[in-house]
Structure 1
Amino acid sequence: MFPNRLASLFCLVLLLPVNVQAWDALGHRLTAYLAYDQMNDTEQSHWISILQAHPRFQQDFVDAMPADIARLGQAEQQRWQFGQAAIWPDIARGFQGFDQRRFHFPNRHWIDGTWVRDDVPLQGNIYLNMDALPEQTGPANDEITQHSDADNVLTGLVYARYALITQTSPEERAIALSWLLHLIGDIHQPLHTGALFTPNLFPEGDRGGNLTRVDGSNLHAIWDQALRGPSLNRNLAELRAIAAQLDDSFAFEPGQWMLESREILHADVYPDNVIANIQRSDNTGNQLGSMQLRDTYREAMREQALQRVAEAGHRILGTLLNLPR
């Protein structure tokens, strides 16, 4: 179903600002575009009208628009604004004062790796030379929707959907839409769902790869930036090909999406040479320096990132189309 309406996405992506070249920005925007370009005009207008009630619409969706986008006309501007909504919860990190207290919820971007429930039986944590930490049992989706206690990526995602359905305040619905778009992207990034633990080096975990230094950066940042590269054309062509192969099952299953991320985290995120160096440092007490990732690892990581971004966009579409109006 994707190829028919994604033809125009190629030109639009080329107009993205240069500083939006990472999964945490470009990836979020692409997930939103993959969904938006599959909607008909009525559906697009519906979600844009909700977004226009955002309490910071002028500052963050109009004034922040690049000049190249602003010159393209209303349709392209609105598409860009929908993509901006998927990034907006990260923009809120930089707010100050009242706006930060109102809009910035740092715990909603990730989840403690010990958190499990019936449809998520796998911890997100990897344990080296130590026993697993006790599991924390999380609530089911229908329990989350009874309150606004959204303190991790899964509960935040479920609550954002709930708020879109039940909130009567236009401002709150616009905020919920932004969080829904963003958190579907976040839950598809493996390092948002767990961490690596060792008894000495990382007794409290490596913060989803943020403390594991690789290639002069850290593992989390490397995965966030997995779609950076010399050719946006190549990224787009591959995303379209992947999306075209996805089925049309649009069930809202955030637990399943998180489980997929955790399976990738366990199987693919921490390469053998990194694990060996971490274990050696943890056993000997020697300082752990920056480690090198092999080219084959980076290539496989990029393939995983493309798959997850395509799946996130597909699932944004399904989630929005199946919401009661």
Structure 2
Amino acid sequence: METTAEEQLIGPLLLARGTIDRSSALRADGRWLEQAWSDPTTRVLVIDDGHTLVRRVGDEVRAVLYAPADAPPGPRYLLGVEDGIAYFAVAAPLPGVPKGEVNGRVTFAMKLGDTPDGKPVAAGLRQVGGLLGDRDAGLLVYAVAIEAWHATHEHCPRCGARTEIQAGGHIRVCPQDASQHFPRVDPAVIMLVRDERDRCLLARGPQWPKGRLSILAGFVEPGESLEHAVVREVAEEVGITVANPRYLGSQPWPFPRSLMLGFFADAVTTTLRLDGEEIAEARWFSREELLEALQSGEVRLPPPVSIARRLVETWYGGHLSGDW
């Protein structure tokens, strides 16, 4: 199963750009972890419900990183090492952000533009993931994912006892039965379906407003291959048969714990029969029709930070405007 030359992804997958060494061998070394935390060169990313602080520095957007002595108290997780510097995340309220303000950052891009250089602003991955540099984007994706796992896995699924954090935040251990529990990742396929006329299929769920379209996606079921998941999900959601699924790339999507696996697939049938619970609208688009719909405002695409946008642009053959 190979991609053709015209099916090489356009542009980077913006949430798959991490640069640090995750240094998994160091997680179980308690002495090293304490020494690293005591090192003033260590840097700490504070994470609160999927948000962190960023600041504008000239034309760049950077994550606000603290020395350990300046970081607020809270559970800490080793993110890795780069150029001899250790990076941790701490789950705690963001310094200087009033309670209740973190989840209200829906106008981040506008606020950042109005903010003087150097002033910290609270932001989430959807808002800032594509603006950060490679290192900081990778740190934030990692921190968001591991914070979300800890927040929902505080108790042992066997006996209900409160588990303890070990291995630099990468294991929770039950004090009652000694069972170990590891961060969970949910694989999901996301596929751009194209027909024999090279039209692209776009759809929206009933929870989305009219005009907000994307490609199809769904979780992989137990005992199922990725390719079978592509075929099954398309048939379930829009009632068409696809063949020849071709893998193009993957990207973490920690909302809260997905790993998106991107595919192209060829439609064998084209008559749509929608699953009304999951799909409210689905349409075939030629490149010309999609461009016209975007320019008129009739259609809006997922943001560039998503793998869905990259797959649509790869099919189209260039970058497009019209974000959600």
TM-score past 0.5 threshold? no
TM-score (norm 1): 0.29
Say which structure, 1 or 2, has more relative contact order (CA 8 Å, 6+ apart): 1
- Structure 1 or 2, whichever has the larger Rg, is 2
In terms of fraction of residues, the more helix-rich structure is 1
TM-score (norm 2): 0.29
In terms of fraction of residues, the more strand-rich structure is 2
